[in-house]
């Protein structure tokens, strides 16, 4: 809780903490060469008293920082297209970082961001910690979350897709074709999009009066290999599913491989529906029915929001959700008689 007194300068903070001004400067600027005990003490003083910069921050570079949880598959390509499209219109450069699915790498990445002084940061499917959010805010570097992996804090802008409605729509499509043994391959339990798509699946079954069988819920990881392994398990059940809803196109590719290995024909023996509508998935045999997630449009919206914040203007809304839609191709059909 802050006091009503004026914010303190680096020199005043250093005097209260009993450390050098250089040490306080390192804490303020997110440098790593400070002990955890000293950092905690200085940050507590900043929380209590506030911090007043003695000069205007340097002008940010013409750079937008785009950071991914992992650079794999079509997903980052589609997002980069949307960011680059808006960046070109404003004569900005896009820098891309990859945390390699390693949350500890975020600290090293953040130090680099503070040195590069971008106009703003777009974090994709990445859960930055609260201290990392605070550090970006303290340096006046705006942040927008894109396709967030968890529920964003109220004050952090974000752009997502209608994941719950997409899960509902995918499952309804299979129900309308006559399927009742419908399996789902989820993503990580910790991922908000995965949980929302699973909730949509359950809602569609409930509305149709079809009991949800726990054995038909496959725990996946949004990867082809995970989809392959879980599809093998599902298709070897005593009463196997006649349709599988894979909550991303990568896992749907894994289902295709499992069906081929088990001698099953798609869609004659097994219907498959994915989620994302990545460009490459249109070339599967048969072409995949899927839920289109407008990743490029989502990225463009996030970039526009970021530039609004970088110009010091308020956003009309902090949370933007773009609609998903069903794209019917040739991988779904009524179940075999």
pLDDT of residue 102: 60
For residue 58, is pLDDT > 50? Answer: no
How confident is the model over 124-142, as a mean pLDDT? Answer: 82
- Check whether 301 has a pLDDT greater than 80: yes
Band (30; pLDDT cuts 50, 70, 90): low
- Per-residue pLDDT tens over the stretch 164-221: 999 999 999 999 999 999 999 999 988 999 999 999 999 999 999 999 999 999 999 9
Nearest to 166 by CA among 184, 180, 189, 190: 184
Is the per-residue pLDDT at 140 higher than 90? no
Bridge partners (DSSP) listed for residue 243: 182, 271
Round to whole Å and give the CA distance between 224 and 231.
10
Which 8-state DSSP code applies to residue 34?
Answer: S
Mean pLDDT of 304-330: 94
Q: Average pLDDT of the chain? A: 89
**More confident of the two residues 293 and 4:** 293
Measured CA to CA, the distance from residue 285 to residue 202 in angstroms comes to 29
pLDDT band for 127, please (50, 70, 90 cuts). low
Contact 27, 43 (CB under 8 A): yes
Look at residue 88 and tell me whether its pLDDT is greater than 60: yes
Look at residues 91, 97, 9, 95 and name the one whose alpha carbon lies nearest to residue 45: 9
| Number of Cα atoms under 13 Å in the Cβ half of residue 324 | 27
> Rounded to whole angstroms, how far apart are CA atoms 120 and 40?
26
d(CA 76, CA 46): 37
pLDDT score of 4 more than 70: no
283 vs 178, higher pLDDT:
178
Cα torsion for 92, 96, 97, 98, to the nearest 10°? 160
CA–CA separation, 187 and 222 (whole Å): 5
Q: What's residue 55's pLDDT?
A: 44
Return d(Cα 163, Cα 157) in angstroms, integer.
Answer: 18
Is there a contact between 189 and 195 (Cβ–Cβ < 8 Å)? yes
Does residue 1 have a pLDDT over 50? no
The answer to whether 249 touches 72, Cβ cutoff 8 Å, is no
| pLDDT, average across residues 87-94 | 94
Q: Name the range with the highest mean pLDDT among 48-57, 256-265, 312-321.
A: 256-265
- 31 confidence band (pLDDT: 50, 70, 90): low
For the entire predicted model, the pTM comes to 0.80
Task: Indicate the SS3 state at residue 193.
Answer: helix
């Amino acid at each position: 809780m802050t006091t009503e007194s004026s914010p303190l300068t680096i020199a005043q903070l250093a005097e209260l903490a009993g450390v050098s001004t250089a040490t306080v400067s390192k804490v303020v600027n997110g440098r790593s060469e400070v002990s955890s005990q000293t950092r905690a003490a200085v940050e507590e003083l900043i929380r209590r008293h506030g911090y007043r910069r003695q000069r205007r921050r340097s002008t940010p570079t013409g750079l937008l920082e785009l950071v991914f949880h992992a650079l794999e598959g079509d997903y980052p390509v589609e997002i980069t297209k949307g960011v680059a499209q808006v960046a070109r219109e404003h004569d900005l450069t896009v820098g891309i970082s990859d945390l390699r699915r390693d949350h500890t790498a975020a600290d090293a990445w953040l130090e680099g961001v503070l040195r590069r002084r971008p106009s703003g940061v777009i974090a994709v499917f990445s859960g930055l910690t609260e201290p990392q959010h605070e550090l970006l805010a303290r340096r006046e570097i705006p942040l927008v979350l894109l396709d967030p992996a968890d529920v964003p804090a109220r004050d952090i802008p974000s752009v997502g897709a209608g994941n719950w409605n997409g899960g509902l729509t995918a499952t309804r499509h299979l129900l309308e074709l006559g399927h009742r043994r419908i399996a789902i391959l989820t993503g990580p339990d910790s991922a908000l999009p995965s949980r929302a798509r699973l909730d949509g699946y359950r809602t569609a079954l409930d509305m149709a009066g079809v009991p949800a069988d726990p054995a038909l819920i496959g725990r996946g990881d949004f990867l082809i290999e995970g989809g392959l392994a879980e599809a093998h398990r599902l298709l070897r059940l005593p009463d196997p599913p006649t349709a599988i809803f894979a909550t991303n196109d990568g896992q749907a590719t894994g289902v295709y491989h499992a069906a081929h290995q088990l001698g099953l024909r798609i869609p004659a023996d097994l219907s498959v529906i994915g989620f994302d509508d990545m460009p490459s998935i249109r070339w599967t045999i048969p072409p995949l029915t899927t839920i289109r997630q407008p990743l490029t449009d989502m990225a463009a919206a996030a970039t526009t929001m970021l530039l609004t914040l970088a110009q010091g203007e308020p956003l009309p809304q902090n949370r933007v959700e773009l609609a998903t839609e069903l794209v019917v191709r040739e991988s779904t059909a009524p179940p075999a008689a």
